[in-house]
Amino acid sequence: MLQSPSSSRISTSSWILKRAWLCAAVVVLALLLLGNLPLVLGKQYPQWDAAGLFGPQFSLVADHVKANRLLLWNPWVGAGSPDFAEPEYGTTSPLLLICAILSSSPLAGFVCYWLVLWVFGGIGLLMLLRHLEIPTWGALIATLGFVTSGFYTGHAEHTSSICSISFVPWILWRLDCAIQRRSYWCAVQSGAMYGLSALGGYPEFTILTPIFLGLWVLGRTLWPLTDYSGPKENIASRLRRSFLSLVLVGCVGALILSPSYTGFLSSTAGYSDRVGPRSRLEATTSNILPVEAVSTLSSPYLYLLNMEPNHIWPKTDLSMSSVYCGVVVLAFAAFGLVKKSGWRYWLVLIGLFFLCCAFGDRLPVRGWLYDYFPPTRYFRNPSLFRFYVILIITVLAGLGTRDLQLAQVLRKRAILPWAIWLALGAVACFSFWLVVLPVHTFPQGKSLALIHLMLMWFGIPALALLAQKTAASPRLLSGILLAAAAGDSLTTLYIARPTLYTDANRSWWMTVDTRHVQSLDLTSNGLLRQLDPPPELATFQNNRNSVLKIPTLQGYLTMSNRYHAQMAVDPTLSYMALGKSRFWFSAQAIETLPDVASFTLFGEDVRKNGRPVIFLHSPQQMRELSHYEQAPPLTVLDQSQSGRAAAAASAVTVSELSYRPNWLSFKYRAPSAGWLLVTDRWAPDWELTVNGRPRKLYGADFVFRAVPVESGTNDILFRYRPHLFFWFLGISWGTLLLLSSAELWRRYSKMTRNTEAYAKVIG
């Protein structure tokens, strides 16, 4: 049998529709490449945290994966760091590892990864809006506003935040499919996306996204699709199904994110005292979104007023200062509320809730969340809540393009007054800052920002008037709006250049690119360690030295430790961990709690003797480091040893050194039994062997390691073995492999069935 004409038309229409969505994805890619062309061409360079932390970290991960291993312990920064346990670094993220292994250089690889995340977020929103039956042109307008929003441009330096938010539309898409199609498999897919977002994402979003998902699902359950063709369900049944879907998301996500987060919980105790909840004051006041910053909805320029040295919002970092999401997007979001819909009003309530939380201590909502939802006590930066506000605005904008139907509704409804009021409000917001701020506080680009403001905001009313007074076709109107949204997005990226990239970092990036050392073996440099990175890599905190494989005592450490921080800035204390001879021997040592009072006495003894004194701490005491901030004064467990009479340690020389990231071995000939101070950082997963016998690894001088040695030759071996990590890594990657295989088999089976059905039809 021949294919029927109607069947042929349906097939052609489906192909055209798919091509339209593919073209939309290509437009997003092209716009982001064009808007970041100086960075893509290597004429400009990442800056701030991207240049000092995430870029060097990406390079280090790449060096490890190219050597067929994963980054576990980083000996080049902060006297050693368990980097695998920091979720932000993405050492187990499949997406980051793929980009890392394909990278040709530290700079090119990192820029590629950064852009992949950015484009990935845009395509995810396209998929979500397509699922919500938004027209292609409307979805593209909303997506262009999303990917050039104040969150992406402001947080360009924070790669982990970009990673987290770029996965959210994908998570939401699959979860909404699970609710509307009553498919638990879609919930499993959403959980996989959530787990991937946590591998390389900022932990705050790992906590906030489930809150957002729960509120979204509640709304979708209370206001389900009215055109669903399946059997009707009562509210109790829908709630039960929705709850089970959320549980699936959480369980699958927990399996996939487990390597980093179990590592953080088990492998940083005693290494970092940045564990446990933040204080209520810090959680509600650090980097809030100022209420006045809502004015940034009017222009992508206004957040730049918070740049140094003229901070107009001193309690907020520049990256946390913008909620801009596009003129056309905001206009359509407002238009989308013309239609009476409980679901849309629920979205507005969710947005208002997250906006109130973003204001921090300016409103009590963030404090209430801190009090009654304990997981939110573990992060600060209330301004990050604003991402979900931006996402809701873009979803409402997409819904507005779907149901306003430009050709008819713009004529039938009073849209023109809405557009005029929005334009006047935007101009008023911009004018306010022009009036209250001195001229010298405005960064470059004010003239372009004014032109952009007037053209975009008054262009929308002009277009509404055109639609009402003429017979302009819907295709023409949508084309004009698309062109306006694209121009808005490109202008936004141009205005936002100060937070995207810079030429000031040229020498630093050229240095790390040309002097990049890929080898992971430290043996050839011996025990040599510097206090800071070389001056040519900048004088502020950064980890660029890890690209050059130069060990330092200081660094840009996210897992902070108060004792290490004080040692690093005190020349009297830091010298013991610097240079080529940084191992010390003493026949005497003092066992004491790693508390603040003991640290004070330790500093006094070092200054008195002019050399280190070994203070010992048991492994259990080290793991409870964060509990000792208010601990009692010095407790000498061995009464025969007095802290004031303890012998100062002497610098020693070791032989047969073998030094690699997860391995340190050497021989030391001790004059008598005693203790050897090894000035590499202590961490729970280091194993110690002395003369072939396992020994307990003590903490020494609050952050370092102490080895019990015998008189004569001692063969000492340290191995870093986070055993739980490998179990959870197998669970994580095994889950991803299993789900990927199941999805491929499902698609193959479906394709086979369709082929067989088609063969029967034409047969």
* Average pLDDT value for residue range 753-761: 71
Specify the amino acid at residue 635.
T
- CA dist 478 and 460 (Å) reads 12
- CA dist 370 and 725 (Å) reads 30
CB atoms within 10 A of CB 541: 13
- The tokens describing 143, both together, are 């997506």
* Average pLDDT value for residue range 452-463: 92
Residue 308: strand, helix, or coil: coil
Residue 483 lies in a domain: no
- CA dist 436 and 439 (Å) reads 9
Q: Are 694 and 643 in a shared domain? A: yes
Q: What is the pLDDT of residue 646?
A: 61
Query: Confidence band (pLDDT; 50, 70, 90) for 723?
Result: confident
The radius of gyration computed from the CA coordinates of the chain, to the nearest angstrom, equals 29
* Average pLDDT value for residue range 25-31: 97
State the residue for tokens 């091509």. Answer: 19
Give 529-572 pLDDT, tens digit per residue: 999 999 888 777 899 999 999 999 999 999 999 999 999 999 99
Non-local (6+) Cβ contacts of 97 within 8 A are 61, 65
- CA dist 586 and 184 (Å) reads 63
- CA dist 433 and 421 (Å) reads 19
Q: What is the pLDDT of residue 642?
A: 42
The residues facing 651 across adjacent strands are 584
Average pLDDT, the chain: 90
| Dihedral sign (CA 373, 375, 377, 381) | negative
Residue 235 lies in a domain: yes
Answer yes or no: is pLDDT of 504 > 50.
Answer: yes
Angle ∠(412,413,418) on CA atoms, nearest 5:
150
Q: What is the pLDDT of residue 4?
A: 44
Q: What is the pLDDT of residue 633?
A: 44
- The tokens describing 623, both together, are 């793991």
Residue 630 lies in a domain: yes
Q: How far is CA 185 from the centre of its chain?
A: 27
Residue 293 lies in a domain: no
Q: Are 548 and 580 in a shared domain? A: no
Cα–Cα nearest to 703, from 556, 551, 553: 553
Q: What is the pLDDT of residue 2?
A: 39
- CA dist 217 and 142 (Å) reads 21
Q: Are 607 and 743 in a shared domain? A: no
What's the total number of domains in the chain? 2
- CA dist 334 and 348 (Å) reads 11
Residue 385 lies in a domain: no
Bridge-based pairing state of the strands 615-617 and 590-591: parallel
Specify the amino acid at residue 632.
P
- CA dist 667 and 655 (Å) reads 5
Give 31-55 pLDDT, tens digit per residue: 999 999 999 999 999 999 999 999 9
8 A C-beta contact, residue 354 and residue 268:
no
Q: Are 543 and 636 in a shared domain? A: no
Answer yes or no: is pLDDT of 635 > 70.
Answer: no
Please, what is the angle between helix 386-403 and helix 136-147, to 10°?
Answer: 160
Residue 71 lies in a domain: yes
Kindly tell me the number of DSSP H helices and DSSP E strands found in the chain: 29, 12
Q: Are 580 and 726 in a shared domain? A: no
Answer yes or no: is pLDDT of 627 > 80.
Answer: no
Q: Are 628 and 667 in a shared domain? A: yes
Q: Quick one: the chain helix, strand, coil %, rounded to 5?
A: 60, 10, 30
Give 403-419 pLDDT, tens digit per residue: 776 445 544 455 777 78
Give 229-285 pLDDT, tens digit per residue: 556 778 889 999 999 999 999 999 999 999 999 999 889 999 998 778 899 999 999
- The tokens describing 600, both together, are 């004070």
Q: What is the pLDDT of residue 167?
A: 98
Q: Are 72 and 221 in a shared domain? A: yes
Specify the amino acid at residue 191.
G
Q: Are 745 and 762 in a shared domain? A: yes
Q: What is the pLDDT of residue 225?
A: 66
Phi, psi angles (nearest 5°) of residue 573 = -95, -35
Query: Confidence band (pLDDT; 50, 70, 90) for 227?
Result: very low
Listed range (310-314, 318-322, 688-692) with the worst mean pLDDT = 310-314
Supply the pTM of this predicted model: 0.94
Between the ranges 108-112, 178-182, 533-537, 621-625, where is the mean pLDDT highest?
A: 108-112
Q: How far is CA 88 from the centre of its chain?
A: 6
Give 320-352 pLDDT, tens digit per residue: 999 999 999 999 999 888 888 899 999 999 999
Q: Are 231 and 253 in a shared domain? A: yes
Answer yes or no: is pLDDT of 187 > 70.
Answer: yes
Q: Are 522 and 661 in a shared domain? A: no
8 A C-beta contact, residue 92 and residue 199:
yes
Q: CB burial class (10 A; 0-12, 13-18, 19+) of residue 627?
A: middle
Residue 747 lies in a domain: yes
Residue 616: strand, helix, or coil: strand
The residues facing 530 across adjacent strands are 552
Residue 542's alpha-carbon distances to 49, 317, 428, 535, 552, in angstroms, are 8, 18, 41, 11, 11
Cα–Cα nearest to 399, from 591, 131, 751: 131
Span between the terminal Cα atoms of the chain, in Å: 6
Q: Are 114 and 232 in a shared domain? A: yes
Alpha helices in 649-706 (DSSP H): none
8 A C-beta contact, residue 570 and residue 701:
no
Q: Are 91 and 202 in a shared domain? A: yes
Give 697-720 pLDDT, tens digit per residue: 999 999 999 999 999 999 999 999
Parent domain of 683: 560-720
Non-local (6+) Cβ contacts of 157 within 8 A are 46, 47, 48, 49, 50, 51, 54, 319, 499
Between 208 and 462, residue with greater pLDDT = 208
Cα–Cα nearest to 463, from 418, 402, 518, 517: 418
Percent of the chain scored above 90 by pLDDT? 76
Cα–Cα nearest to 65, from 92, 29, 46: 92
Q: What is the pLDDT of residue 441?
A: 86
Q: What is the pLDDT of residue 286?
A: 94
8 A C-beta contact, residue 187 and residue 215:
no
Answer yes or no: is pLDDT of 730 > 90.
Answer: yes
Residue 321 lies in a domain: no
Answer yes or no: is pLDDT of 515 > 50.
Answer: yes
Q: What is the pLDDT of residue 414?
A: 59
Answer yes or no: is pLDDT of 659 > 70.
Answer: yes
Cα–Cα nearest to 261, from 184, 327, 335, 201: 201
Cα–Cα nearest to 78, from 688, 517, 545, 624: 545
